[in-house]
């Protein structure tokens, strides 16, 4: 294998792939990222990555993807699909491995779930095992990692645990919280994946990977509570079904209900390492549960974790598109995009003047009501206005917001100073397009505290949908009117 070989990375916008991409680029590898929607991922090209179009479910689209590739990372799954994810996983794996084999790719590195053949498994875990078999079917060399639950800020497992512990002082716990797992830090998973590029072997390999500790899910939640200095009471019950558990997760955590159901079906089974070959073939010593959670919590106060499980479009169960309304990690998001036939600096002009005497471009009476309600509970309301009608600086007060970040002509991020059961941001970003136009991105971000914070978001979501939709339309219209 060449020292700096050519790598094809799938899932580069997902949780693991996004972090792996940065590591590969920093180490000097030539990375090609396979995506299904070209326009949505132009930012990868800014990081000196080659972008190639390919859909593993469409074999014809893969014919030119593997040209010159030495190693391919397979980080594809259909867990969030509304269709039959088992058959989709099979089709995708067989298409990918066969085309890779035909184009001379030397190695495929695959990350799956920790399970053992011949045992009763959930559909999700069985599909993860079967995917490894489908990849090997073509004759190409496959290095497969079977991982226990992954802990890291933004991972689906960590966000599920964090949301449950943060929001519920008393938890009614079903049997699955007492099933053993061997949780592993995302940093250790990335170390294994990276090391597999130059693993000295000509054979297929399967490695089971987990952290230093074997604990039940309840133990993970209690360790999180300990580090966050939270007192939590857990009441075990025998009657909470898997289906009810999945719906409950969908309500109080960032996990989509359909994904939650598939995950819960899997946690009935222990995910503990039996084959210790990873510890002999790799010079990697996974960290403890305590350290994994401590590392994840270091990202707690960032606006977003470095990457998130929900960044992957497969998590939403939808084809790539521009849309509004989702749960990202521990935060709620209302995001909208509007294209305008203007350069960025002109499209940004109305955003620069937002608030104060200018108003908020849509539903000003609703903004005034919200400001009045804020005053009634001791908040700042809308009375502060803004210092200058045409200029903004970081730290400026802007009605009941504070300017947290400002890049003239590009980006404005406002931090809410309203009285809320959580923290909120409103961000505008204008991105240039190849045709000379621009995209206006408007994103409302809410980080709830407790169940009351979640309830507040859901109660306000109807108003948000109307206000934010009207706001971005009026901003785009105003920009056009000013530059006719």
- Give the DSSP letter string of 57-93: T-GGGGTTTTTT-SEEEE----TT-SS-HHHHHHHHH
Distance from C-alpha of 148 to C-alpha of 209, rounded to nearest angstrom: 7
366 confidence band (pLDDT: 50, 70, 90):
confident
Over 70: is that where the pLDDT of 103 sits?
A: yes
Chain region(s) in the chain for CATH 3.30.530.20: 330-482
Query: Tens of pLDDT along 144-166?
Result: 999 999 998 777 778 778 777 87
Chain region(s) in the chain for CATH 3.40.50.720: 6-300
- Residue 3 or 353, more confident: 353
76 confidence band (pLDDT: 50, 70, 90):
confident
Does residue 1 contact residue 70 with C-beta atoms inside 8 Å?
yes
CATH code linked to domain 330-482: 3.30.530.20
- Residue 405 or 265, more confident: 405
Region 328-344: what's the mean pLDDT? Answer: 80
Predicted local distance difference test score (pLDDT) of residue 421: 86
Predicted local distance difference test score (pLDDT) of residue 323: 31
* pLDDT > 70 fraction of the chain, expressed in percent and rounded: 83
Region 113-140: what's the mean pLDDT? Answer: 85
Predicted local distance difference test score (pLDDT) of residue 242: 57
Output b/e per residue, 429-450; b: 16+ Cβ within 10 A: bbbeeeeeebbbbbbbbbbbee
Distance from C-alpha of 50 to C-alpha of 460, rounded to nearest angstrom: 41
Look up the pTM and report it.
0.67
Average pLDDT score over the chain: 82
Region 22-38: what's the mean pLDDT? Answer: 86
Region 269-293: what's the mean pLDDT? Answer: 93
Over 80: is that where the pLDDT of 80 sits?
A: no
Distance from C-alpha of 263 to C-alpha of 431, rounded to nearest angstrom: 37
Over 70: is that where the pLDDT of 406 sits?
A: yes
Highest mean pLDDT among 17-21, 233-237, 258-262, 273-277: 273-277
User: For 42, which DSSP code?
Assistant: T
Over 60: is that where the pLDDT of 42 sits?
A: no
In what helix (H) or strand (E) does residue 159 lie, and over which residues does it extend? Answer: helix 156-167
- Residue 410 or 465, more confident: 410
CATH code linked to domain 6-300: 3.40.50.720
Over 60: is that where the pLDDT of 258 sits?
A: no
101 confidence band (pLDDT: 50, 70, 90):
very high
Query: Tens of pLDDT along 169-199?
Result: 887 777 778 889 999 999 999 999 999 999 9
329 confidence band (pLDDT: 50, 70, 90):
very low
Q: How far is CA 338 from CA 348, 438, 467, in A?
A: 12, 8, 15
Predicted local distance difference test score (pLDDT) of residue 455: 83
* pLDDT > 90 fraction of the chain, expressed in percent and rounded: 38
Distance from C-alpha of 116 to C-alpha of 266, rounded to nearest angstrom: 12
Over 80: is that where the pLDDT of 321 sits?
A: no
Distance from C-alpha of 177 to C-alpha of 128, rounded to nearest angstrom: 22
């Amino acid at each position: 294998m060449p020292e700096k070989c050519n790598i094809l990375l799938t899932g580069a916008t997902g949780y693991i792939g996004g972090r792996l991409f940065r590591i590969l680029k920093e180490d000097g590898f030539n990375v090609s990222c396979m995506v299904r929607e070209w326009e949505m991922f132009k930012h990868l090209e800014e990081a000196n990555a080659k972008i190639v179009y390919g859909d593993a479910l469409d074999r014809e689209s893969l014919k030119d993807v593997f040209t010159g590739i030495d190693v391919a990372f397979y980080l594809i799954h259909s867990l969030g699909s509304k269709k039959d994810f088992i058959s989709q996983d099979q089709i995708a794996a067989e298409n990918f491995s066969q085309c890779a084999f035909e184009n001379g790719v030397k190695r495929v590195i695959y990350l799956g779930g920790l399970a053992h053949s011949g045992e009763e498994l959930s559909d999700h875990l069985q599909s993860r095992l079967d995917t490894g078999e489908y990849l090997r079917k073509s004759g190409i060399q496959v290095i497969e990692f079977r991982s226990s639950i992954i802990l890291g800020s933004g991972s689906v497992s960590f966000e599920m645990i964090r949301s449950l512990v943060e929001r519920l002082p008393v938890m009614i716990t079903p049997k699955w919280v007492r099933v053993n797992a061997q949780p592993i830090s995302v940093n250790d998973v990335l170390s294994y994946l990276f090391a597999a590029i130059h693993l000295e072997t000509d054979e297929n390999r399967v490695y089971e990977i987990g952290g230093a500790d074997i604990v039940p899910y309840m133990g993970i939640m209690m360790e999180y509570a300990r580090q966050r200095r939270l007192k939590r009471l857990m009441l075990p019950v025998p009657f909470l079904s898997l289906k009810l558990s999945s719906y409950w997760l969908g309500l109080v955590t960032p996990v989509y209900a359909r994904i939650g159901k598939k995950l819960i079906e899997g946690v009935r089974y222990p995910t503990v390492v039996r084959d210790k070959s990873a510890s002999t073939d790799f010079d990697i010593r996974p960290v403890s549960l305590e350290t994994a959670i401590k590392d994840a919590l270091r990202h707690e106060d960032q606006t977003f974790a470095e990457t998130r499980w929900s960044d992957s479009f497969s998590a939403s169960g939808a084809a790539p598109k521009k849309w509004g309304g989702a749960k990202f990690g521990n935060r709620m998001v209302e995001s909208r995009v509007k294209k305008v036939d203007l350069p960025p600096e002109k499209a940004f002009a109305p955003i620069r003047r937002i608030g104060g005497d200018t108003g908020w471009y849509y539903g000003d009476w609703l903004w005034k009501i919200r400001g009045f309600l804020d005053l009634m509970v001791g908040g700042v309301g809308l009375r502060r206005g803004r210092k200058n009608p045409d200029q903004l600086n970081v730290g400026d007060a802007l009605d009941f917001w504070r300017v947290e970040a400002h890049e003239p002509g590009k980006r404005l991020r406002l931090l809410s100073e309203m009285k809320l059961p959580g923290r909120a941001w409103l961000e505008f970003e204008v991105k240039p397009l190849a045709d000379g136009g621009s995209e206006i991105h408007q994103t409302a971000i809410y980080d709830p505290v407790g169940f009351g914070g979640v309830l507040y978001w859901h109660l306000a979501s109807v108003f948000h949908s109307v206000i934010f939709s009207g706001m971005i339309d009026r901003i785009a219209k105003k920009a056009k009117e000013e530059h006719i």
